Structure 1
């Protein structure tokens, strides 16, 4: 359907479907993501949402050093 409207497409063919070639395919996508991020001036390695989720998890687990985060999170949850 895309080629009917002159849209760019890519066909990827693997010699075999096994861990080695799937790993290469995933690595190719990872590199493409990093390069696209550079082209668009986006830091693809910055994951503030992931880091925040880790902090919330540690706070809810009662990990030492996250008491203030736990209190703030409990207050946010009470509002919702």
Structure 2
């Protein structure tokens, strides 16, 4: 990602891009990113996708969902 000029408009666009990306990835994982339980679920899913110890079962479920053609 490149920013030609550091100003309010470009910074706003960059923040929007990352907020949108976060929301989209949460919905892809089946999580509502706009409520606290959704935030907690998203965090657990990210731990699972990063193969954090203790999240092996969730990791297998998410990998299967992500690779499924039905998503």
Task: State TM-score, norm by structure 1.
Answer: 0.44
**Greater relative contact order structure (CA < 8 Å, 6+ sep):** 2
Higher Cα radius of gyration: 1
